[in-house]
Structure 1
Amino acid sequence: MRRSGLVTILVAAGAALLLTAASLLGLALLGAPTGFQTVGPPACSAPSLPGTLIRVSETDLGVSVMGSPMMRGAMRLSADRTSVPRGQVSIAVTNLGYVPHELLVLPLPGGQTPGTRISGPDGRIDEAGLLGEASGSCAGGAGEGIAPGAVSWVTLNLPAGRYELVCNYPGHYAAGMYGELTVS
């Protein structure tokens, strides 16, 4: 092959690689244009749960940027309601993403904005005050993580206050997996 042909191929390959990296970075920073990818219908479902039911979905882009934790906005935690009456509250969590997730319920101190907790060197936030967890695949309570396509659930007796729902897998909180719950 002639030298000029090889240079043209290398330049084209480099441009394609750069364009792919820029696209992935753009998706991580801005989010997917029409919503996040999902793995399909859940592999299992939660049983009939007591109290006020909150349905939460956890989604991700299914990619990481250059092996580092996902960037803010690359993951999402969405609840079908953000305000409930005090008392018995059940949370059913469906992992619609491509990597395992979990859901923790933490008190949100007055004046603190959701998503502002500081992550440690391990990419996780402090779980002090943990009130409950849904992290068992096709099971309630704590487990080894909610597998893609699986559901987990937790039932709590919550007094009035503000709470933060979070995924505390390394880097997930910083990537946008949090939401606020107000109990009145």
Structure 2
Amino acid sequence: MKTISKLGLAAALLMSGSTGAAWAAALVQVSLWDKGASTEMAMGLAYAAPGLDVSKATMGMKVLPDAVKAGEVTFNVKNDSKDTVHEMIVMFLADPSKPLPYIDAENRVDEDKAGDKGEVSELDPGKSGSLTVDLKAGKYLLICNVAGHYGAGMWAEFTVDP
């Protein structure tokens, strides 16, 4: 009986040790949504835009939770659109009061200059993807950088606490 108890205890310790690593990463659920391809895309809703009224957004992101502790963060991303491709990019905000650098001719954020920390590339409607990154404390912006989507309000603030 003692041998079984020791084996049971050893198995429990091994299992808790292996799941402990999985529990170390913060888990964030991200839903990418829009009002449908037939809806005219809103304009002028980029982060930090003057007179910003996000209630007019025709696209967006739901992020739960919107704050985590610094370290390894896993984003589980689902494109909940019925007919539009979306993506999610993690951008570090060096100065949260300033807009991200933008390429007007391409109608999208300049990812190289903006502080791109990783992405879940273009997801077809209904598809999912994930991204695990090591994030330091600070303010971040999650964006969709498909042409026009960021300016249509497809972004969400995200905080990483110390």
Does TM, scored on the shorter chain, surpass 0.5? yes
Q: Deviations over 1:12-71 (max 9, x none)?
A: xxxxxxxxxxxxxxxxxxxxxxxxxxxxxxxxxxxx8961000000011113567xxx11
- Match of 1:171, SS? coil
Report whether the alignment pairs 1:58 with 2:43: no
Identity of aligned residues (%): 35
The one-letter code of the counterpart of 2:84 is V
| Cα pair distance change 1:167/1:49, threshold 3 Å | farther
Task: Show structure 1 runs of 5+ residues with no match.
Answer: 1-47, 136-144
Higher relative contact order, structure no. (Cα contacts within 8 Å, ≥ 6 residues apart)? 2
Distance 1:146 1:120 in 2: 24
| Cα pair distance change 1:56/1:77, threshold 3 Å | same
Aligned length: 123
- Match of 1:89, SS? strand
**Counterpart residue number, 1:164:** 141
The one-letter code of the counterpart of 1:130 is D
2:151 aligned residue (153, 163, 174): 174
| Cα pair distance change 1:49/1:176, threshold 3 Å | farther
Q: TM-score, normalised by structure 2?
A: 0.70
Residue 119 of structure 1 deviates from its aligned partner by 4.8
Residue 91 of structure 1 deviates from its aligned partner by 0.3
**Counterpart residue number, 2:60:** 76
- Match of 2:119, SS? strand
Q: Deviations over 1:94-117 (max 9, x none)?
A: 00012011000111122426xx43
The one-letter code of the counterpart of 1:162 is K
**Counterpart residue number, 2:91:** 106
Task: Show structure 2 runs of 5+ residues with no match.
Answer: 1-21, 44-56
The one-letter code of the counterpart of 2:31 is S
Q: TM-score, normalised by structure 1?
A: 0.62
**Aligned-residue CA RMSD (Å):** 1.9
2:80 aligned residue (79, 89, 96): 96
Residue 121 of structure 1 deviates from its aligned partner by 1.5
Distance 2:60 2:154 in 1: 5
In terms of fraction of residues, the more helix-rich structure is 2
